[in-house]
Amino acid sequence: MCRKTTDLINSFEYAGSLYLFEDTPKKTEIKIYSPSILNKQFNYESLIDQLMDINIYYSLTYNEISRLKADDKLGFLSRLARSKFREYSKNDGESGEILLYSFLEGDLKAPKILSKMSLKTNPNLYVFGADGVHFFVDENNKYHIIYGEAKMYKRVSLGLTKAFDSIGRFISNYGTDAKLMEDTLIRENVTKEKLTDEQKQKIIEIVYPSPKQNTINYSDDFGIFIGYEISIKDDWKLLSDDEFRKLILKESIEKVNNQLDKIQNLIKKYNLISRDFYFYMMPFTEIGKTRKKIIEGITK
């Protein structure tokens, strides 16, 4: 896993957690963070600087990185990673995807087994399917294959609707050629990542129909990142640093808290109550401009 993702998560402000299906065995945590705060505004420069380094591990496979480092081609390594992104002025989604990757690796400790960025041969090519695929093994030795979905919209409710629409299309592919292609991509690329031989073999057995598949304790689950907009009022800047921070984090939580019923209803609507979800949410100012600014900063 990329150590820099843990450093990034530690640099964020943790606003708090909310819970779905509380007081049931399906209790599900939603973690809410904000970018670090400097001079009473979100410190996007720090966020971009850290994502520039993380992008190498997000966009490229472990084998590619190792080979280029061994050949001392560090400049080409950075350029190759940056080349995977579409032109930032037309790019609305990939800033959320790299943040989702960072949360799944840095917080959940779920290593990447497939990034669609590493499959791109053209930066303007959209690669369909999950935004990324990760896995982890829990304390009961159960394997969780985590399909990622990231959305950044002004309203939390719209981001959630779009995310679950994508998940709905994804699960409708089960048993189809599209799902077979997704599993084939995982099988062909998992050997390129930094996993143990046992982990690679287990993942291949899970995604490839075989007699052993039914003997493995595993589930297909979802990691979701939602970025949403928050407005910083001018009079807030008259507060002390500590009061300002508390107000920003309180506002960030309230915007998500208002959507808890909607999230539960979406999970039920798509018949996903048996799946595990890993939610991460983060506020941004002027989100339309900010998501492009992040990609511009990463790729410059």
The tens digit of pLDDT for each residue in 15-29 reads 999 999 999 999 999
* Confidence at residue 119, expressed as pLDDT on a 0 to 100 scale: 60
Tell which wins on pLDDT, 277 or 182: 277
**Residue 140 contacts residue 276 (beta carbons within 8 Å):** no
Residues 127 and 119: beta-carbon distance below 8 Å: yes
Task: Determine contact, residues 150/96, Cβ cutoff 8 Å.
Answer: yes
Residues 213-245: pLDDT tens digits? 667 888 889 999 999 999 998 899 899 999 999
For the segment 47-72, the average pLDDT, to the nearest whole number, is 88
User: Tens of pLDDT along 113-160?
Assistant: 887 665 644 443 344 467 889 999 998 889 999 999 999 999 999 999
pLDDT (0 to 100) of residue 118:
59
CA gap 100, 117 in Å, rounded? 13
Mean pLDDT over residues 165-189, rounded?
76
Average pLDDT of the residues of the chain: 87
The secondary element (H helix, E strand) that includes residue 225 is strand 218-229
**Structure-token pair, residue 275:** 């799946």
Q: How far apart are CA 115 and CA 57, in angstroms?
A: 10
Determine the pLDDT at residue 231: 93
Share of the chain above pLDDT 90, in %: 53
Question: Which pair of structure tokens corresponds to residue 52?
Answer: 């520039």
Contact 113, 196 (CB under 8 A): no
pLDDT the model gives residue 121: 45
Predicted local confidence at residue 205, as pLDDT: 84
Residue 266: is its pLDDT beyond 80? yes
Confidence of residue 64 (pLDDT cuts 50, 70, 90): confident
Instruction: Show the tokens assigned to 50.
Output: 């850290």
For the cut 90, the answer to whether the pLDDT of residue 273 exceeds it is yes
Amino acid 88: pLDDT: 39
Q: Is the pTM of this model over 0.85?
A: yes
* DSSP assignment letter at 270: T
Residue with more model confidence, 5 or 121: 5
Q: Measured between alpha carbons, how far is 138 from 144 in angstroms, rounded to an integer?
A: 8
Q: How many domains in the chain?
A: 1
pLDDT at 126: 40
β-pairing verdict for 143-152 and 218-229: parallel
Q: How many CB atoms lie within 10 A of CB 74?
A: 11
pLDDT the model gives residue 174: 63
> Contact 15/252 with Cβ under 8 angstroms?
yes
pLDDT at 210: 66
Per-residue model confidence (pLDDT) at position 89: 44
Per-residue confidence at 173, pLDDT binned at 50, 70, 90? low
- Residue 174's domain comprises 3-299
Helix-helix angle 62-70:74-82, to 10 degrees? 150
**C-alpha to C-alpha distance for 78 and 57, rounded to whole angstroms:** 10
The predicted pLDDT at position 123 comes to 44
**Separation CA 244–CA 41 (nearest Å):** 9
Task: Answer whether residue 2 shows pLDDT above 80.
Answer: no
pLDDT value, residue 194: 82
Least confident of 86-95, 121-130, 195-204, 290-299: 121-130
What interhelical angle do 94-106 and 44-59 show, nearest 10? 80
Residue from 89, 79, 85 nearest 116 by CA: 85
